[in-house]
Amino acid sequence: MTLDRRAFVQGSLATGLALGAAACVPLDQSSAGRLAANLRIIEAHAGGTLGVEFFDTASGMSIGHNRDARFGHCSSFKTSLAAMLLQYRERNGDLVREVELRAEDVLGHSPFVAVRVGQSASLFELAQATQRLSDNAAANILLRELGGPEAMTAFWRSIGDDVSRLDRIEPHLNHVPPGEVRDTTTPRAMARTLARLVYGDVLRERDRSLLRHWMIDTSTGARRVRAGLPQDWQAGDKTGTSIWPDMGSLYVDIGFVEPAGRAPITFAAYFRTAERTDGIDPQAEAVLARVGEVLTRFAA
């Protein structure tokens, strides 16, 4: 555990992060140490590799585990992609330009694009489907329209994230065995990137609000970190999952929580199973739900 104030200050200066919510009373070293120990215990009981970062957007305080280890984005990169598209609107006008949707664009899990083949969709519609529905075809089309994976990496660099990178498109970006650096980030980097996107000045207020609401309306994380939070807390997220024979399975959940009466907290959580799971494993998702329980105590 570290009280990572220097990184917060640097990131705030880079993005103009300014939050009006009430700050919490900082954790003492003993309490923070116990919460970090809780994360290590979760990892030990789960039998895989857990990476976590909680970031207090007001104080800059953070705790985590394996916070500088690299993990694959899986579909979680789509929140940043949607944000990049919203920034594109600010610089290039409305997102009404339409793109033809072709049969060759469709791949696994493309619920929006698959039913619109032969028609067209606006860039705005594609961004919404990318975040809320995790539509893989929509994400690939947006990447193609905005300059490819290299443009996604350049966007992260432009907002002060010098760690996260995207190198491939769906579905190949999901193949990230241990030791791979392509298409990866770290919990520390991504928790701060989310703070800049949702609460900083990377986007105008209307687009920050829109991205936040898209994340709240994203239902795929209901059994992950959000399952461990109090039901009355406002929260939004983006998940990702990768199941490949030579890398075990990777379960991802990144997002924010807004407890009443205190500043928001962003989080980034990654769990790599020791062995490949058969489809979505409820026990693996439960590991991230237990991370949510620790996050609840961090926010108390």
CA gap 205, 106 in Å, rounded: 33
* Helices of type H across the chain: 5-15, 29-46, 77-92, 123-132, 136-146, 149-158, 187-199, 205-216, 282-299
59 is known as an active-site residue: no
CA gap 187, 239 in Å, rounded: 14
CA gap 259, 279 in Å, rounded: 33
* 3-state class (DSSP) for residue 206: helix
Opening angle at CA 285, ends 240 and 214, nearest 5: 45
Give the chain's length.
Answer: 300
Which residues on adjacent β-strands are paired with residue 9?
none
Give every CB contact of residue 53 below 8 A, 6+ residues apart in sequence: 62, 63, 64, 67, 186, 187, 188, 190, 191, 267, 268, 269
Using alpha carbons, select from 6, 1, 40, 7 the residue that is nearest to residue 191. Answer: 7
CA gap 211, 240 in Å, rounded: 17
Pick the catalytic residue from 75, 110, 164, 242. 75
- Catalytically active residues, by annotation: 75
